[in-house]
């Protein structure tokens, strides 16, 4: 018996009594059980690796998933076997195990599908990252363009004033956006009073431009630093976890050009892993009955019959105990009633005895009073003897009655006491 026999859940005694062909077949089932467990290890390790960079964490969880699938698949395969009597209960058990195996196959296949499309998903996530980076750059560029627009407006106004002053000094008539020249040539040192206002405005614009240029350069550098921080934060915190990959896979499936191929490959991979996990159960279900299964079925029937016989024995014993307890209860109630009856008879006797004692004492007292009234000594002596004789007779009657009552009670007790 090797490790593959253990994985298949084989019974050592039955296996030794089986043919060599069956031992090889069962070892093959054990090796098939090892395949989905191994795939489950890599599947779960990859899934958890998308959530953490600690290798010991995702390898540990992958190992736990490996043993979980191994134990479940071992139970699914070893939990039932074929027999000469194929019943509805057998098919129900088989279908439940197949459904369970399908669910495990789906659980194993999903991370492997993401791994299969890993590069495509990375490209999609990289595009999302670059799109967000581009949004930051565009936002920064818009701010810069807004500042540059204001600077160009003032610069254009400054150029306009420079042209207007030149026209004014050369006596050229011109109508510009910033003003109108007089058309009179300047003859006093190249100046004329009309141009003084333009020159002051021009100097003011030059100072304003210089100030805005410095401010814009400073703000540009601040915006660049701020944008770089945002980009760095985006790169550091950009999600590449399992859920993100699932979302990207859904987007790939919705792609009009490649979506059909992605869905087809995804379906194929899922069916492949389901096939791997249901393969041991299917082989055991649709192959012919082996000598191992026949022996196992016989042993199971023997155990079942023994268990049923033990149950019947225990049930009969329990019924016997119940009947005995009911009989004892009935006899006990009967004895209690008899004891109550004897007690009532004894009580009645004692009451009669007390009444007779009281009556006797009353009679003696009357006779004693009459004796005291008698004056004849001889008559008095005769009455005294009669009273003494009466007392002796009464005492003897009490003793005889008491003795008879005791004998009666003892006899009643002996008859009604349990053996």
Tell me the per-residue pLDDT of 310-364, one tens digit each, with 9 for 90 and over: 777 878 777 777 787 778 777 777 766 766 666 566 656 566 656 666 666 677 6
The most confident of the ranges 20-34, 68-82, 215-229, 282-296 is: 215-229
Using CB atoms within 10 Å of the CB of residue 132, give its burial: 0 to 12 exposed, 13 to 18 middle, 19+ buried: middle
Residue 135 lies in a domain: yes
Number of domain units in the chain? 3
| Together in a domain, 138 and 233 | yes
Which among 207, 204, 198, 212 is positioned nearest to 160, based on CA atoms? 198
Q: Is the pLDDT of residue 83 over 60?
A: no
| More confident call, 114 vs 190 | 114
Q: Domain limits at 88? A: 3-116+257-289
Residue 31 has a pLDDT of 83
| Together in a domain, 111 and 129 | no
Residue 419 has a pLDDT of 47
Distance separating alpha carbons of residues 274 and 36, to the nearest angstrom: 9
Structure tokens at 223: 């915006």
| Together in a domain, 264 and 328 | no
Structure tokens at 131: 């799109």
Residue 229 lies in a domain: yes
Give me the helix-helix angle, 259-286 and 20-49, nearest 10°.
150
Residue 200 has a pLDDT of 80
Percent of the chain residues past pLDDT 70, beyond the cut:
70
Residue 312 lies in a domain: no
Residue 298 lies in a domain: no
Residue 188 has a pLDDT of 46
Residue 297 lies in a domain: no
Per DSSP, the three-state class of 38 is: helix
If you average pLDDT over every residue of the chain, what do you get? 77
Distance separating alpha carbons of residues 163 and 158, to the nearest angstrom: 9
Distance separating alpha carbons of residues 400 and 410, to the nearest angstrom: 15
Domain C-terminal end among 247, 281, 300: 247
CA 279 to chain centre: 29
The Cβ of residue 202 has, within 10 Å, a number of other Cβ atoms equal to 20
Q: Read off the pLDDT of each residue in 203-215 and give the average, rounded to a whole number.
A: 84
Distance separating alpha carbons of residues 46 and 50, to the nearest angstrom: 7
Residue 61 has a pLDDT of 92
């Amino acid at each position: 018996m090797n490790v593959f026999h253990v994985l298949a859940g084989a019974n050592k005694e039955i296996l030794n009594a089986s043919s060599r062909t069956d031992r090889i077949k069962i070892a093959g089932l054990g090796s098939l059980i090892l395949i989905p467990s191994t795939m489950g290890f890599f599947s779960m390790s990859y899934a958890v690796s998308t959530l953490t960079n600690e290798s010991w964490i995702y390898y540990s969880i992958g190992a736990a998933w490996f043993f979980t699938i191994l134990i479940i698949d071992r139970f699914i395969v070893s939990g039932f076997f074929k027999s000469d009597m194929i019943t509805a209960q057998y098919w129900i058990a088989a279908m439940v195990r197949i459904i369970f195996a399908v669910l495990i196959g789906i659980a194993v296949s999903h991370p492997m599908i993401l791994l299969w499309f890993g590069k495509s998903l990375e490209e999609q996530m990289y595009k999302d990252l670059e799109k967000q980076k581009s949004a930051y750059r565009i936002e920064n560029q818009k701010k810069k363009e807004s500042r540059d627009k204001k600077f160009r407006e003032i610069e254009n106004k400054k150029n306009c004033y420079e042209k207007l002053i030149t026209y004014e000094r050369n006596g050229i008539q011109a109508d510009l956006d910033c003003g109108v020249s007089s058309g009179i040539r300047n003859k006093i040192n190249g100046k004329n009073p009309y141009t003084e206002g333009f020159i002051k405005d021009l100097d003011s614009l030059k100072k304003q431009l210089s100030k805005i240029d410095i401010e814009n350069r400073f703000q540009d550098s601040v915006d660049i630093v701020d944008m770089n921080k945002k980009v760095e934060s985006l790169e550091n915190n950009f999600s590449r976890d399992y859920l993100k990959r699932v979302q990207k896979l859904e987007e790939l499936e919705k792609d009009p050009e490649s979506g059909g191929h992605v869905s087809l490959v995804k379906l194929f991979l899922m069916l492949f892993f389901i096939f791997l996990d249901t393969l041991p159960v299917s082989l055991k279900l649709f192959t012919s009955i082996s000598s191992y299964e026949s022996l196992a079925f016989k042993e199971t029937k023997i155990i079942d019959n023994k268990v049923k016989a033990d149950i019947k024995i225990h049930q009969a014993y329990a019924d016997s105990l119940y009947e005995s307890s009911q009989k004892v209860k009935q006899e006990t109630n009967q004895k209690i009633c008899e004891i109550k009856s004897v007690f009532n008879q004894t009580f009645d006797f004692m009451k009669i005895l007390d009444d007779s004692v009281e009556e006797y004492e009353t009679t003696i007292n009357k006779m004693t009073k009459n004796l005291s009234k008698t004056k004849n000594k001889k008559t008095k002596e005769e009455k005294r003897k009669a009273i003494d004789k009466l007392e002796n007779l009464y005492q003897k009657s009490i003793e005889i009655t008491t003795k008879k009552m005791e004998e009666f009670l003892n006899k009643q007790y002996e008859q009604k006491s349990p053996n």
